[in-house]
Structure 1
């Protein structure tokens, strides 16, 4: 249990992954290269605090130690990402999440995934899975893989989401997943001058030479160009508007870095759209964060912003402390809405509790931690 301004608040991490990117699960070479990217991003965002094997494969011990010990996080939402073409047994599948949730009852809420590579046939049986696992939400990435492209305007998708919502999974994350890319503003600065119109931006780096099949000793022919391990994040905004308007009872959650700031803020006119702050939270000490967060706070209000760490890329304790103590710099204090105790209570856990139907009672194992601790 975390204390802000003398008040005890419920903290819910709305983006936690339990994944296995260890060598035995990698589909070489692309799975290995993707795992390398994840380790690099972890070192950039969270320092060298965790041994590599704890980042590659999340265990019950590391999950308990890094997420729940210390009393910063009370509950978490497990977001699955299968990536079956990069990892033999799946990267972060729902079945593993269900097993982990059984180890620690009352700690987790489960979410499912709608695979863009599977199309309409891949969505069959999703409704029964929602009821079987008590799923409260779904993850949908329009371009999870280069070969899989899911149009948000497809009629069958609208019907599927409506059925899943009626079954209990009425929160849909669009394009939210582990990111190996820099902060949103750094991506824009890096790619804006060099990307010609119509060309995809933020392509992942080439597969290292040592990972090429021939150099690794395989008899397969060498690749002439690197495979795009995961397609660039993004979605058709016009199609998304139609989808959100057609399904007013579904709450859609977008990543804070999924679109340029002004375009993302314009979507606040849709009352069933929320924003997950995971992609910008590691930089709370920068002016870029102050502007990005202030614009989202002004557009969506504190009632439609969600806290998320993206663990294990970043351990949530530091993010909770920094967000709970956050104040806008003096020069921006009158430009953006006040981020007071009530707003912090909503962003850190109140909004996620409402969306995912999580009780406000705190697990008995939680201990109180003050914001200044």
Structure 2
């Protein structure tokens, strides 16, 4: 829990990782891709404050103790959600698969949620495996990587017929949260495979599922905002937005946040540090202190303490059924993704 100026913030970091990208985990013959991937991630870390930068060796494989200290002890996080990313074409045991993530979750009981994943290119066998995994782990969410390479395939779309089969199974199993990487390209993946254009089609057809678009489709921020405002079950995940822009590009950060607040609304924005690319401590503290830099941004919604409480934890807590202490709640919070409350711009005249 983070406290500032008498206000208490319950923090849910809804986008974290516990990866192993060390050379020992690189698949023979795929080293250039395994190395290029983690080097690209490491370059993104340079967008944060200099004192938070890690050596490449530490960045490739940090320990469970590092995670616990950086996220929970120092990072002000009350509950963390681990997103599973496999990339098993490049990493022998995967980049950070469910089994690896479960190890660290076991060390922090009650404080972590581990999400599953699926890939529609795995066909019938993958569908059966996903169902069996859910029976064992009771997933509340999944993380999808539409740009992930698999054999000769260099990505897929939510609108693919096979993807719809998996979404139907996700709905059938009662899994309500689907996180999508739709944002900056990570080498060597293809930019077009991260496009947000397939999200609204699926969101309309699966209204029972919340689609949390991580990285808000950057650099396609306008495309995302205009799509998300019409789809009440589409959320904006702030991973990369805060870590990548708040320190390095403060003016652009203000524009992105303003667009999100204007079109998507404060009830549909969730915080994610994207650890271990960036540590949550400076992001949480910076977001609590943040406001627009000047009157040039006066046509965007104002940012209040309640706005920040929702974004930092309350919205994600509702999506995942996480209990929030009474002292961190706000008066009469709006329900996220309520269809009857959806409108083009909050408070706009009819």
SS at match of 1:125: helix
From 36, 39, 60, give the equivalent of 2:39.
36
Higher relative contact order, structure no. (Cα contacts within 8 Å, ≥ 6 residues apart)? 1
Q: Would the aligned equivalents of 1:174 and 1:253 in 2 still touch at CA under 8 Å?
A: yes
Q: Would the aligned equivalents of 1:136 and 1:170 in 2 still touch at CA under 8 Å?
A: yes
Change (3 A) 1:9 1:79: same
SS at match of 1:269: coil
2:270 is matched with 306
Q: Would the aligned equivalents of 2:159 and 2:202 in 1 still touch at CA under 8 Å?
A: yes
Q: Would the aligned equivalents of 1:175 and 1:234 in 2 still touch at CA under 8 Å?
A: no
1:356 is matched with 320
Change (3 A) 1:114 1:174: same
User: In structure 2, how many angstroms separate the alpha carbons of the residues matched to 1:168 and 1:233?
Assistant: 30
Structure 1 window deviating more from structure 2 (143-152 vs 75-84): it is 143-152
Query: Based on CA coordinates, which of the two structures has the bigger radius of gyration?
Result: 1
1:60 is matched with 64
1:154 aligns with 2:114: no
SS at match of 1:15: strand
SS at match of 2:128: coil
User: In structure 2, how many angstroms separate the alpha carbons of the residues matched to 1:176 and 1:46?
Assistant: 24
User: In structure 1, how many angstroms separate the alpha carbons of the residues matched to 2:160 and 2:32?
Assistant: 33
CA RMSD of aligned residues (A): 2.3
Alignment of 1:1-373 (within 5 A): 1-27=1-27, 28-47=31-50, 49=52, 50-70=54-74, 72-115=76-119, 117-145=121-149, 147-175=153-181, 204=187, 229-232=188-191, 234-235=193-194, 237=196, 239-254=198-213, 255-258=215-218, 260-267=220-227, 268-282=229-243, 283-285=245-247, 286-361=250-325
Q: Would the aligned equivalents of 2:10 and 2:78 in 1 still touch at CA under 8 Å?
A: yes
SS at match of 2:159: coil
Alignment size in residue pairs? 315
User: In structure 1, how many angstroms separate the alpha carbons of the residues matched to 2:310 and 2:156?
Assistant: 32
SS at match of 2:46: helix
SS at match of 1:252: strand
1:296 Cα deviation after fit: 0.6
2:336 is matched with none
User: In structure 2, how many angstroms separate the alpha carbons of the residues matched to 1:139 and 1:23?
Assistant: 25
Segments of structure 1 that go 5 or more residues without pairing to the other structure are 182-203, 205-228, 363-373
1:114 Cα deviation after fit: 1.5
When the two structures are superposed, what TM-score results if normalisation uses the length of structure 1?
0.78
1:57 Cα deviation after fit: 1.0
1:16 Cα deviation after fit: 0.3
SS at match of 1:77: strand
User: In structure 2, how many angstroms separate the alpha carbons of the residues matched to 1:33 and 1:284?
Assistant: 25
Segments of structure 2 that go 5 or more residues without pairing to the other structure are 327-350
Q: Would the aligned equivalents of 1:13 and 1:75 in 2 still touch at CA under 8 Å?
A: yes
SS at match of 1:172: strand
